[in-house]
Structure 1
C-alpha cells in the first residue's frame, strides 16, 4: 500500500507545509465521492491516491445498483488500502422511510462497509430516531458520519442550528458531522454561484471550539477548497471531493500548488520570525 512518507523526494519538497500527517488521521480528512466508477478505474484511483483519501462514499443510493460481487470487491479494495468506505446518506434515508434502519445497518456491515452516513438532507428523519440510528451504527462497529443541512436549492446554513446538531450528534456517538453543500457546491455555506460565506466559516470555527475538528465541509470546487484552507487552515476536513481531484486537493493542502503556496510560505515565514 502507498504511504504518505514513502517518497523518493526530499521531505521539504514533498510537503512544504511540514504539517501533513499520515493515516489514520484525525483531522485534515479528505472524503471522496464516487458516482459509479468501475472496478478497474477504482483500483487505479486507489493505487495513485489511497494515501491521501480517508473516507470514500458511494454516492446517493448507487450502492444498491452494483452487482453484489462487484460491490464487495470495491469494498474489499478500499479496506485493503486503509480507506473507510460507506454508502451515501440518501440510501440511509430511504431505509429509514421503509422503517428498516436496523436491517440497513446489519446489511451494510455484512457487505463489509466500514462507515455509515446518517442524514436527513432529502427525506425527513425524526431527531430521536436519528440519535438511535447513530447508537446502533456505533454498536455495530461502524464509523459514523452524520450530515447537517438540506439538499434543497436555496438552503442556507444557520450557525446555531449547525452548532446544535454538532453537539447533539457527537453526544449520541457520531464521529464527524458533514456540512451539506451537494456535489454541485451551491447550498449550505455557499451561495448559488458557489461563493463561500467566509464570515460564517470563521464564526463556526470559533464557536465550535475543539469540536471544530469534527466538522467536514463539503467543497467540490477548487475555489471552495482554497477558501476553506485559507480560512480554516490546512487541517480542515474536506468532503465531496471528486475521484479525479484527490491529488489536486492534496497539493493544495501541502502548498504544492499556486493557489495556496504563496500564503502558506508567507504564514510560515511570519511564524519563523515570531519565534526568534
Structure 2
C-alpha cells in the first residue's frame, strides 16, 4: 500500500522522484536564492510559501547596506525562523577588502544577525592565504561560510584545474560549499556561453578534476540551465542564483512534477510501496 503524506497528497504525487527528504538537513539538492530587493511583506510571503524548498538566501551584491538596520534585521529574523542560511552577497565583502574594512564588515554581519557569508573574488584579486583567513574568520564567528569561484567579467571561463585546487583549499579551510560563478544573468560567464547554453566539455572536465563535486553549487538562473544540470546530475544537484519566483518551479522539476523532468518520477514508483 502507499504511505500517506502529512500534506494530504498521496506520497507518489507529492514527490514522484522519492529523493526529496522532508528535512533540509538530510537532503542533497540545495537551492540558493538571490534576493535583489524584496520588501518585508513580500519576503515574509516568500519564506512562508517557499521556505521548505530553499536552503540559502543571498542578499545580492552590496544591497544589504541599502536597508535600514531595522528592516534588515526583520528580514534576517524571518529567514532564520525558517531554518535558512541568509548572507550578504560576496561583492559586499569584496568592497570591504578594497576599503580595508574587513573587521567592520564582520562585526556588522554578526550584529545585524546574518548567519552566513560568501567569500568571493569575482571583482577583485584575492590571494590564497587571505582567502583561507577570511573563511576561518567567518567560521570563528559562528557563521556558515560559502565560497565562490570565478570572475564576473563577461567572457570569463572556468579553469577546471584552478577550480579543483580552489575548492579543495576552501573545503580544507572549513567552507561549507563552493559556488561556481554565473552571475544573475547566466550569460557569457563561467559554465555558460553567450546564449546561456552549458559548455558540456567544460562541465565534464570539472567533474573529472573536482573530487567532491557534489559540494559545488552551480549558479543557474535560467530555466534551460536548471533543466540541463538536473538531467546531468539528478535532483540532488545544488543550484544557485535562483529567482524567488522560480523556487516552486525548480522544486517541481527536482521531484519530477514538471514535464521537463517528468522522467525523474516514472522509475521510482516502488519507493513508497510496502
Q: State the TM-score, normalizing by the size of structure 2.
A: 0.92
- Listed as ranges, the matches of 1:101-120 within 5 Å are 101-120=102-121
- Whole-angstrom CA distance in 1 between matches of 2:173 and 2:266: 41
- CA apart distance, 1:153: 0.3
- CA apart distance, 1:265: 4.2
Matched, 1:231 2:232: yes
- CA apart distance, 1:25: 4.3
Give the conservation status (yes or no) of the 8 Å contact 1:205–1:232. no
Equivalent of 1:201, from 197, 203, 213? Answer: 203
- CA apart distance, 1:157: 0.8
SS at match of 1:154: coil
- Listed as ranges, the matches of 1:1-276 within 5 Å are 6-21=6-21, 22-25=23-26, 27-186=28-187, 187-209=189-211, 211-262=212-263, 264-265=264-265, 268=268
- CA apart distance, 1:206: 3.8
- Whole-angstrom CA distance in 2 between matches of 1:104 and 1:67: 16
SS at match of 1:146: strand
Runs of 4+ in structure 1 displaced over 3 angstroms? 265-269
SS at match of 1:259: helix
Give the conservation status (yes or no) of the 8 Å contact 2:18–2:265. no
Q: State the TM-score, normalizing by the size of structure 1.
A: 0.92
- CA apart distance, 1:205: 2.7
> How has the CA–CA distance of structure 1 residues 141 and 32 changed in structure 2, closer, same or farther, with 3 Å as cutoff?
same
SS at match of 2:198: coil
Give the conservation status (yes or no) of the 8 Å contact 2:17–2:256. yes
Give the conservation status (yes or no) of the 8 Å contact 1:202–1:231. no
Q: CA RMSD in A?
A: 1.7
- Whole-angstrom CA distance in 1 between matches of 2:203 and 2:266: 22
- Write the deviation string for residues 108-154 of structure 1: whole angstroms up to 9, x where unpaired: 01111010000000122232111100000011110101100000000
Give the conservation status (yes or no) of the 8 Å contact 2:221–2:242. yes
- Whole-angstrom CA distance in 2 between matches of 1:26 and 1:212: 16
Q: Which has the higher contact order (CA 8 A, sep 6+)?
A: 2
Give the conservation status (yes or no) of the 8 Å contact 1:220–1:239. yes
Give the conservation status (yes or no) of the 8 Å contact 2:161–2:209. no
- Whole-angstrom CA distance in 1 between matches of 2:265 and 2:112: 45
- Whole-angstrom CA distance in 1 between matches of 2:235 and 2:16: 12
- CA apart distance, 1:158: 1.4
Give the conservation status (yes or no) of the 8 Å contact 1:145–1:176. yes
Tell me, which stretches of 5 or more residues in structure 1 are unaligned? none
Count how many residue pairs are aligned between Structure 1 and Structure 2. 265
